[in-house]
Amino acid sequence: MFWDRVIETLERAALARLQLERLQTTAARVAARVPFYQRQLAARHVTPDHIRSLDDLRRLPFTTNADLRANYPEGLLAVDRRDVARLHTSSGTTGKPKALFFSRRDLDAAAELVARCFVMTGATADDVLQNMMTYGLFTGALMLHYGAEKVGLMVIPAGPGNSDRQLMLMQDFGTTIIHVTPSYALYFADLLEKRGLRPCRDLTLRKAYVGAEPYTEETRHKIEQGLGVDVYNCYGLSEMNGPGVAFECGQKHGLHVWEDNFLLEIIDPETSEPVSDGQPGELVLTTLNREAMPLLRYRTRDITALIPEPCPCGRTHRRIQRITGRADDMLIVRGVNVYPQQIERVLMGIPAVGRNYLITLDGLDDMSVQVELAESGFDGQVEHLVNLQNQIIERLRAETLVKPKVELVPPGALPVSEGKAKRVVDRRRL
Ligand code: DLL
């Protein structure tokens, strides 16, 4: 099923023509209205007239996270204030947030993309969406909300947290789809197990749209088992509309990027040169259909790879692999590069391991990992615990080349945040 069959299956050559036309419009818009881009373009001796083919994209400047912060609050605004319909922000670790502006038309375009995602995954007006993302300045909940309404689903704007109320809403209103972070999905699956509830028997859930944080295929399986749902990976970032920038189809193999709205590049984060198709690199996105705040070649810092093969679902918009982490996520432990995702992949592949973990780095450059046990992971025999602990240490060492300390803790012992999960505590930088 398609929301917009024509555009979703547009032949590649026609899609490229549309992209070029929109790139030219976007370049002209920022050159006329945004002093930051006027300076950047002048420094490169580029005018919008130089954009004659999609390859000319490489003449345009990159935009970084730092540029958004430096131009806070309104430096990148490309419309009059009276034409702004909504503000979102995206917070970083320190200082001022990034301000993201949307016109009425931008909001409608974002909702259209989300509507495509719903229909692509088989959702219909018969579905009930419980939106367990945070409502507010974060794009996560609101951007998905309006797309769901367009398709005609009934939306329960539950927000995150208060798991007992979530459960009550699910049971009383027959929720079929949830939109949730991977960490909260795992936490919720734990809660069901503790209450002795079996999702297939006691709930009507069918699908979960899971995103806003990186997670592994092993975590997807854990969520699918724990909640009795099909998990679809949902990727996005506030700078590019929030959720719905890229989404899995029924194949559940890679995420279609809506290429009529975003021009995608994958580059080597060190050299900024393009990598060859299928190779991992940093995702760079250019908005093609934004009025209020168009962005050229935005460095997402997210690491992924292009899937060059066409998708059996019939959509022509190319797919990217699930995000394996952010370029800034890399930890250097005793000189070795370690990504938190490597640790998650190992842990979530071990059945006796539960649903939460926390990595701590301390002053001596030691890495320790606290690992929750599964509800059924401990049979009371201490030697089984010791064996499990040794098995985890060994597998983590083999995966990361760093031998961590591992502490097994009871289910539910580690903190759960309502927003994005915090998986790493780095005391070395405190
Ligand atoms: O997290 C938008 C969103 C909300 C996407 C809900 C999906 C669902 P930001 O707060 O700006 O926006 O954070 C964007 O989160 O650059 C990635 O690093 C990470 N991220 C988002 N979705 C995924 C995903 C929203 N499916 C940043 N897999 C992005 C991996 C993800 N990482």
State pLDDT tens for residues 344-378: 999 999 999 999 999 999 988 899 999 999 988 77
Residue 102 to residues 98, 110, 140, 188, Cα–Cα distance (Å): 13, 9, 15, 33
The response to whether residue 420 sits with its C-beta less than 6 Å from ligand 1 reads: no
Q: How far apart are CA 195 and CA 184, in angstroms?
A: 16
How confident is the model over 77-89, as a mean pLDDT?
A: 98
pLDDT at 363: 81
Model confidence band, residue 327 (pLDDT cutoffs 50, 70, 90): confident
What does the mean pLDDT of the chain come to? 95
**Residue 95: pLDDT above 80?**
no
Q: What percent of the chain has pLDDT over 90?
A: 91
Name residue, tokens 């952010």: 326
The response to whether residue 282 sits with its C-beta less than 6 Å from ligand 1 reads: no
pLDDT at 81: 97
pLDDT at 234: 98
Q: How far apart are CA 430 and CA 421, in angstroms?
A: 19
Question: pLDDT digits over 157-215, tens only?
Answer: 999 999 999 999 999 999 999 999 999 999 999 999 999 999 999 999 999 999 999 99
What separation in Å is there between the alpha carbon of 320 and the centre of ligand 1? 14
The response to whether residue 132 sits with its C-beta less than 6 Å from ligand 1 reads: no
Alpha-carbon torsion 294, 92, 343, 252, what sign? negative
pLDDT at 93: 57
Model confidence band, residue 70 (pLDDT cutoffs 50, 70, 90): very high
The response to whether residue 235 sits with its C-beta less than 6 Å from ligand 1 reads: yes
Question: pLDDT digits over 257-277, tens only?
Answer: 999 999 999 999 999 999 999
What separation in Å is there between the alpha carbon of 90 and the centre of ligand 1? 11
pLDDT at 377: 72
Alpha-carbon torsion 382, 388, 394, 399, what sign? negative
User: Rounded to two decimals, what is the model's pTM?
Assistant: 0.95
Residue 348 to residues 36, 297, 352, Cα–Cα distance (Å): 45, 35, 9
pLDDT at 430: 54
pLDDT at 429: 66
The response to whether residue 147 sits with its C-beta less than 6 Å from ligand 1 reads: no
Cis peptide before 73 (omega within 30 of 0): yes
The response to whether residue 182 sits with its C-beta less than 6 Å from ligand 1 reads: no
Q: Which of 65, 145, 210, 235 to mutate to test the pocket of ligand 1 (most atoms within 8 A of CB)?
A: 235
In Å, how far from its chain's centre is CA 147?
Answer: 17
Query: Looking at domain 330-429, does it have CATH number 2.60.40.10?
Result: no
The response to whether residue 358 sits with its C-beta less than 6 Å from ligand 1 reads: no
Report the CATH architecture of 1-329: 3-Layer(aba) Sandwich (3.40)
What separation in Å is there between the alpha carbon of 212 and the centre of ligand 1? 3
Question: pLDDT digits over 275-302, tens only?
Answer: 999 999 999 999 999 999 999 999 999 9
What separation in Å is there between the alpha carbon of 210 and the centre of ligand 1? 10
Q: How far apart are CA 59 and CA 52, in angstroms?
A: 11
Model confidence band, residue 41 (pLDDT cutoffs 50, 70, 90): very high
Q: Are strands 154-156 and 177-180 parallel, antiparallel or unpaired?
A: unpaired
- Exposed (0-12), middle (13-18) or buried (19+): which is 53, by Cβ within 10 Å? exposed
pLDDT at 92: 64
The response to whether residue 300 sits with its C-beta less than 6 Å from ligand 1 reads: yes
What separation in Å is there between the alpha carbon of 182 and the centre of ligand 1? 11
**Residue 91: pLDDT above 90?**
no
Residue 198 φ then ψ, to 5°? -110, 115
How crowded is residue 186: how many other Cβ atoms within 10 Å of its Cβ? 25
Domain boundaries, the chain: 1-329, 330-429
How confident is the model over 132-153, as a mean pLDDT?
A: 97
The response to whether residue 234 sits with its C-beta less than 6 Å from ligand 1 reads: yes
The response to whether residue 243 sits with its C-beta less than 6 Å from ligand 1 reads: yes
What separation in Å is there between the alpha carbon of 177 and the centre of ligand 1? 19
Among protein residues, the one with the nearest Cα to ligand 1's atom 12 is: 237
Residue 352 φ then ψ, to 5°? -75, -10
Query: In terms of pLDDT, which residue wins out, 335 or 37?
Result: 37
What separation in Å is there between the alpha carbon of 140 and the centre of ligand 1? 8
What separation in Å is there between the alpha carbon of 193 and the centre of ligand 1? 28
What separation in Å is there between the alpha carbon of 32 and the centre of ligand 1? 31
- Please, are residues 356 and 187 in contact by the beta-carbon 8 Å criterion? yes
